[in-house]
Structure 1
Amino acid sequence: MQQTELQQHNINKTQTQQQQFNTNQEKTNMKFAVKTWCKSGGARVGLLQLSSLGIEIETPALMLTTRKGLPAFISPDHLSFLPSPDSRLLQFSPMHFMECPDLKTISNIGGVHRLLGLQGYGFVAVPRDSILSLPEGSSSNKNGASFETPCGRFLVKPLEYMKMISSMKPDLWVSLADEVAASVTVKRNKASVDRTITWLDACISLKPSDGALFGSIVGGCSVEERTRCAQEVAKRNVSGYYIGGFGLGDSIDERSTYLHAVTDLLPKEKPRQVCGLGLPEEVLQGIAAGIDLFDSTYIYHLTLEGFALIFPLNDKCKHKHDSQLCAVTSDYTKINLKATIYRKDTSRIVEGCTCYTCQNHTKAYINHLLNVHEMLAQILLEIHNTHHYLSFFRLIREAITEGKFEEFRQNFIQNRRRHLLAASHSTYEQESPMR
């Protein structure tokens, strides 16, 4: 009898030690530390470490938006052409896998890392994205959140969502949120906050031992509701924060107020992620409020339409163009490579750019590929656009470190406004009849 009790005691002790090990492992799988603060404002440079993968990424950082785990036009072989480790954080929506393969198959394979053969990359699971998984607030209810997907509209309950997370084994994942459009009523907005907090508690109670949980914060166009949600989420045991509800009809002029209302209340030592801020000006606005992680749906939409990013990064990396010719094809940040003026342009997209596309191909070739509808056009464009935007984030981090972020931000905005004004005058002159 004594031997049986001793064996049971050893079993219980082993189980307790294993639980402690799992808890410690969860805490150490993701580490985040702020390295530099901007002297004025909330901008900061941090270091995000995924110790299980041996990845260290400086923030503010861009997470590459994917379709079923991979960028829309970049194959696994071409990912190596992107700057590393900046490009090693991939964001995906579990809703992309609603049709196939099934969760048991993904789990048996070993999660998204092994499913895609990308063990050296970090994966961030977010219910919503701005490409294939759009929140449908009018169809959500107290039981779950509704999403529009290529497979139809789905109501996803917290338990179902957590089964997805457990099977896919992402490194970071966001709790289920009820994100609503800016035009909803006060009552509906309040309900979205209540549901999001309730679902966060459900996700916490069901969360797997691995993967860092980011608590969702919503509140629409109400400072009071966003403040209430941030205060409640900050009380929970989460590894970071996801600030949602942007890009759904909200005004860019009022967005700074909503962002600061949230970030001012959050613990400084934990990372903040946002969805819905894609334009360079929006990214700068988010960084000024203390956001660390951004998605890259902006790159996807640019690439799909045949645009290439060209805004200057430094003295060696500039786009050379004729202001008269490019008035209708450029807005300082990008050019439309479908335009006929690039048909015989043998220059690179950006002179001095070190991306694979600029090192090997010309505007004329990409213009040809676009006009004959070859997918290689999008492949080359997405490689360049991703490389260029990652370099933009690197410059932002340098500006924060040097204490020049606000100067960098104002210069970028003023240069774009100046360019747009000059382009509009040039267009007007070209369209005016000759006297």
Structure 2
Amino acid sequence: MRFEVVVKAACGNGRARIGHIYPVIGGVPTETPALILTTRKGLPTFISPDLLSTLPSPDSCLLHVSPMHFLEIPSTTTVARIGGVRRMVGLQGNYLFFASPRDSIECLPSSESSNKFGPSFETPCGRHLVKPAKYVEMVSALNPDVWVSLADEVPAWVLAKRNRTSVYRTVKWLDECIALNPKNEMMLLGAIVGGSSIEERKRCAKEVSLRNVSGFWIGGFGYGEGIEERPALLDAIMENLPDDKMRQISGFELPEILEGIASGIDLFDSKYIYHLTVGGFALVFPLNGVNEYEDEVDSQTCDFGSDGTKINLRATIYRKDTSSIVDNCECYTCQNHTRAYINHLINTHEMLAQILLEIHNTHHYLGFFCSIRDAIKRGEFNIFYKKFLQGRRNLFSTPMQFSAACN
């Protein structure tokens, strides 16, 4: 597997760029910016393997797996005997697995319990301290295509001394992971931390970029930093990274991903899809991201929790709505089921509701990333970004439209 930048940052795009991720053995390359689908032990939370193939390919072929999910059953020893996570879940072809401890849903870092020996994580089976040797052993058993070194992620409110310590530990653990790396064919992404400190972010980026890594994983976002702080923090990191290597970030949702893409990030996690699905929401915004927001408001935002990008299918107004979630959507859900049916499934607590919602939300979100890449290729990403944000601002600045639509 290898990564290559094919459309470099240019005027009209800021730092946004297009890259290709090539599988090890032939296959169609996956374009970036792209979405890495969050999984539980190798498969998406609600989508079964047979329905996974209905999603756009190769855009849906990047899968995240957390070694922390294998602390109990099945053990990494069992997975190693099977031949790795790919063979365990039965996915072949263009699917690529990205392994990192944090999955932004269940396995979250616990900075107060981390120490010099390793980071601590809150997992479904309790809090665990993970040392580099054990972590590399787990990664080796899973045999992913890409893996991330351990990181000491800290919230934004920690003191400067704790921030410096987190950078020191992260770089130290990276060196240990490199020394212990048993399979050189797996791409290693060096973790970058530093909390809300611009200086520590710079220092960590410089140190990690000096190591023999295939790319970078940017952590520590989504832990209390202010929205106004993010651009400066991202700039501090990107200015100190080489342009030819892969960049992945965790903790960004919509519309934060646009800010990340504008900064030059290539890969994002899909925790946003998970939270939408569990909450009963469906994405409905135009895939070009800029048109017809006002039209969407009148018909779709009078239910609680909707904001013009999504609708709450739990709401009673969809009880007799026989239309598809999004007109002309080609996903399995929209082609076969109605809003009324999904509303029924949600309110009767049927698991099929989450399956159908995750299929639609994933399909829609992948389509949005495709539109973003098209805008970058045209040299119009900055325009795309500004119009998307303006469309959302227009929605929230006209609250009377919501009440009018409900009456």
Give the TM-score, by structure 2 length.
0.95
Distance of 1:345 and 1:262 partners within structure 2: 47
What residue in structure 2 maps to residue 89 of structure 1?
62
Query: What is the number of equivalent residue pairs in this alignment?
Result: 401
Judging changes above 3 Å, is the alpha-carbon distance between structure 1 residues 389 and 228 closer, same or farther for their aligned structure 2 residues?
same
| Pair 1:132-2:83 in alignment | no
What residue in structure 2 maps to residue 160 of structure 1?
134
Aligned match for 2:32, one of 35, 54, 59: 59
What residue in structure 2 maps to residue 284 of structure 1?
258
**Which residue identity lines up with residue 159 of structure 2 in the other structure?**
T
Aligned match for 1:386, one of 356, 362, 366: 362
**Which residue identity lines up with residue 407 of structure 1 in the other structure?**
I
Question: Residue 352 of structure 1: SS of its match in structure 2?
Answer: coil
Distance of 2:215 and 2:70 partners within structure 1: 25
| RMSD between aligned residues | 1.9
**Which residue identity lines up with residue 81 of structure 1 in the other structure?**
T
Larger radius of gyration: 1
5+ residue gaps, structure 1, are: 1-28
Distance of 1:212 and 1:260 partners within structure 2: 25
Residue deviations 1:99-133, cap 9 Å, x none? 11122211111000001111221000011121110
| Pair 1:216-2:194 in alignment | no
Distance of 1:55 and 1:273 partners within structure 2: 21
What residue in structure 2 maps to residue 37 of structure 1?
9
**Which residue identity lines up with residue 351 of structure 1 in the other structure?**
D
What residue in structure 1 maps to residue 162 of structure 2?
188
Residue 322 of structure 1, CA deviation: 6.5
What residue in structure 2 maps to residue 376 of structure 1?
352
What residue in structure 1 maps to residue 117 of structure 2?
143
Judging changes above 3 Å, is the alpha-carbon distance between structure 1 residues 266 and 426 closer, same or farther for their aligned structure 2 residues?
same
Aligned match for 2:382, one of 387, 406, 409: 406
Answer whether contact 1:318 1:352 (CA < 8 A) is retained.
Answer: no
**Which residue identity lines up with residue 96 of structure 2 in the other structure?**
G
Distance of 1:383 and 1:307 partners within structure 2: 12
| Pair 1:72-2:45 in alignment | yes
What residue in structure 1 maps to residue 240 of structure 2?
265
Distance of 1:372 and 1:262 partners within structure 2: 47
Answer whether contact 1:38 1:401 (CA < 8 A) is retained.
Answer: no
Answer whether contact 1:36 1:400 (CA < 8 A) is retained.
Answer: no
Aligned match for 1:366, one of 316, 332, 342: 342
Residue deviations 1:44-75, cap 9 Å, x none? 01111122363411000000011111111001
What residue in structure 1 maps to residue 323 of structure 2?
347
Question: Residue 132 of structure 1: SS of its match in structure 2?
Answer: coil
Answer whether contact 2:35 2:369 (CA < 8 A) is retained.
Answer: yes
Distance of 1:352 and 1:318 partners within structure 2: 15
Residue deviations 1:122-155, cap 9 Å, x none? 0000111211100000000000000000100000
Distance of 2:348 and 2:299 partners within structure 1: 27
Question: Residue 37 of structure 1: SS of its match in structure 2?
Answer: coil
Residue deviations 1:156-176, cap 9 Å, x none? 000000000111100000000
What residue in structure 2 maps to residue 419 of structure 1?
395
Judging changes above 3 Å, is the alpha-carbon distance between structure 1 residues 312 and 277 closer, same or farther for their aligned structure 2 residues?
same
Decide which moves more: 48-57 or 202-211.
48-57
Residue 425 of structure 1, CA deviation: 2.1
Answer whether contact 1:35 1:44 (CA < 8 A) is retained.
Answer: yes
| Pair 1:303-2:277 in alignment | yes
5+ residue gaps, structure 2, are: none
Distance of 1:54 and 1:30 partners within structure 2: 12
Answer whether contact 2:296 2:308 (CA < 8 A) is retained.
Answer: no
Question: Residue 74 of structure 1: SS of its match in structure 2?
Answer: coil
| Pair 1:113-2:86 in alignment | yes
Residue 428 of structure 1, CA deviation: 5.9
Answer whether contact 1:37 1:44 (CA < 8 A) is retained.
Answer: yes
Question: Residue 81 of structure 1: SS of its match in structure 2?
Answer: coil
**Which residue identity lines up with residue 171 of structure 1 in the other structure?**
D
**Which residue identity lines up with residue 33 of structure 1 in the other structure?**
V
Judging changes above 3 Å, is the alpha-carbon distance between structure 1 residues 348 and 240 closer, same or farther for their aligned structure 2 residues?
same
Aligned match for 2:230, one of 255, 263, 266: 255
**Which residue identity lines up with residue 3 of structure 2 in the other structure?**
K
**Which residue identity lines up with residue 261 of structure 2 in the other structure?**
I
Distance of 1:88 and 1:213 partners within structure 2: 19
Distance of 2:404 and 2:297 partners within structure 1: 15
Judging changes above 3 Å, is the alpha-carbon distance between structure 1 residues 188 and 322 closer, same or farther for their aligned structure 2 residues?
closer
Distance of 1:296 and 1:314 partners within structure 2: 19
What residue in structure 2 maps to residue 12 of structure 1?
none
Residue deviations 1:366-394, cap 9 Å, x none? 00100101111110000000000000000
Aligned match for 2:309, one of 333, 340, 353: 333
